[in-house]
Amino acid sequence: MSGSTPALLWLLVIAGLSIAYYATKPRHHPPGPRPLPLIGNLLQMPKDHDWKVFGKWSKIFGDCVYVRVLGQPIVILDSLTAAHELLGQRSAIYSSRPRLVMAGELTGFAQGLALMPYSPRFQSLRRLLHRELTANMLQKYWRLHEDESLILMNKVLQDPTRLLEYIRHYAGSVILRVTYGYQTAPENDRFLLLSEKVMAAFSLAARPGAWAVDMIPWLRYLPSWFPGTEFKRKAAKWAQLNMDVVEGPYIWAIENQDSASLIQPNFLTTVLSQSPAVLSAEEKDLLLWSSGSLFAGGADTTVAALSSFFLAMALYPEVQATAQAELDKVISAHGQVPQLSDRPSLPYIECVLREVLRWNPVTPLGVAHLLTEDDVYKGYNLAVGTIVMVNVWSILHDPLSFPEPFEFRPERFMINDKKAVETLACAFGFGRRACPGVHFAESSMFIAIATALFQCKISDPVDEQGEPIRRDVEYQTGTIR
């Protein structure tokens, strides 16, 4: 007995150490749907409404789901905690963007901030934008937002059937005025037309799985006469379009710095006034692409959010009536059209804005981040080069945080204000890549919403008998919804 005790003790110690070792040892990777050899989870990846499928996976596998598509590891995070822990607290290594050879490199879209890899150039661009886009700095543009909102609503009242087109014009005009001091033409503005072509080109260039060169990057080095290299000609054409849209308004603004047609204040003139008289090539590049990034980041997102607002008002007339009653009280006090300085006195309308962003998030899966170093999370290995996405849709439709999540209920932000508002921040992304235009977006949306509520009654269209025409509204699936 006395001889077997040390042996038993040793066995227990070894067993204990093994359990501790295996409990803390990084396992291969987080759980996820079972992959096939070589192609991985390719066939299981959803074609549309990805966030719904990913939401179902997270119920089975947890808030960190792993898939591999043709060798590319992807992690989908389905909780605010996981997103903050990785993209927020470890943002030094979770802030790059996935490589898109066709859309990013060959067509040049990765020269703009949103697709740019994490780099010193990225940091300089962000710093510049951040400095000019704080809530304080943006106050000088309030008047401009107010004027453009009135123009928008006057046009909508004249012809409500062109609502979406007018919202596009509004979002584009506000950004062109703020960024370059450029006043758009009421119809067929050359820069807005060009930007629509570029947006269309971008969605084609960024279509997942559409371009062999995205999977086999060395194809880009094939000469243009080589069979099957049509993609190179397309890329060259789109690259030119992209340069036209970035350089066009920039050159216009530089040439018109002393002209009366330049609207003041504007971003470009402000930055120029703080720069040396003659810009170095690097300074010029920063200015060109920071201005260009504002348009790329801000136009379609604002359009998506405002379109959801009009839809919500048609579907929820009681919300509209409550918001209008609040507005009436404030407006009758000063007897003018709504202004951005009214914002603190309009808490219900503030909640309408928040609910628009929650109810139908503009980017349901955020914008993908890329991990730039090996990492370990909850004992799982995450390899350098892993694409990390956050299911923003799922977080903003979690019934524990937002009861009856599919209903449009602005009141939810009044009752449980702080926590709900903190959660909503995920609609603008995470860590070092979080949207730098958040204050701009909110001012632009708030005044458009208040002006619309002040000027009109928003409802479904009616047929010849005066009966409302109800339609199921289908959103388009894409990075921006």
Which residues of the shown chain bind ligand HEM in the complex (CB under 6 A)? 113-114, 126, 175, 293-294, 297-298, 301-302, 305, 362-363, 366-367, 427-430, 433-437, 440-441
Query: From the CB of 334, what's the least distance to ligand HEM, in Å?
Result: 27
Query: From the CB of 443, what's the least distance to ligand HEM, in Å?
Result: 9
Which lies closer to ligand HEM via its Cβ, residue 308 or residue 339? Answer: 308
Query: From the CB of 102, what's the least distance to ligand HEM, in Å?
Result: 19
Which lies closer to ligand HEM via its Cβ, residue 40 or residue 366? Answer: 366
Long-range contacts of 259-265 (CB under 8 A, 24+ apart): 261/183, 262/181, 262/182, 263/144, 263/177, 263/181, 263/182, 263/183, 264/181, 265/140, 265/141, 265/181
Which lies closer to ligand HEM via its Cβ, residue 219 or residue 447? Answer: 447
Query: From the CB of 216, what's the least distance to ligand HEM, in Å?
Result: 26
Cβ neighbours of residue 454 under 8 Å, at least 6 residues apart?
153, 324, 327, 331, 337, 338
Token pair of 355 as six digits:
């609910």
C-alpha distances out from residue 7 to 12, 20, 246, 369, Å: 9, 20, 75, 52
Which lies closer to ligand HEM via its Cβ, residue 129 or residue 331? Answer: 129
| Strand, helix or coil for residue 3 | coil
Which lies closer to ligand HEM via its Cβ, residue 130 or residue 457? Answer: 130
Which lies closer to ligand HEM via its Cβ, residue 241 or residue 448? Answer: 448
Phi-psi region of 466 (alpha: psi -120 to 50; beta: other; left: phi over 0): left
Query: From the CB of 46, what's the least distance to ligand HEM, in Å?
Result: 20
For residue 445, count other CB atoms closer than 10 A to its CB. 22
Which lies closer to ligand HEM via its Cβ, residue 114 or residue 137? Answer: 114
Residue 426, annotated ligand binder?
Answer: no
Query: From the CB of 481, what's the least distance to ligand HEM, in Å?
Result: 10
Token pair of 111 as six digits:
């020269």
DSSP state letter for 474: P
Cβ neighbours of residue 474 under 8 Å, at least 6 residues apart?
none
Phi-psi region of 126 (alpha: psi -120 to 50; beta: other; left: phi over 0): alpha
Q: Where are the beta strands (DSSP E) in 94-156?
A: none
Query: From the CB of 472, what's the least distance to ligand HEM, in Å?
Result: 24
DSSP assignment string, 303-333: HHHHHHHHHHHHH-HHHHHHHHHHHHHHHHH
Instruction: Name the strands in the sheet holding 64-69, side by side, starting at the edge strand that comes first in the sequence.
Output: 64-69, 72-77, 387-390, 369-370
Which residues define the annotated binding site?
435
Which residues define the annotated binding site for heme?
435
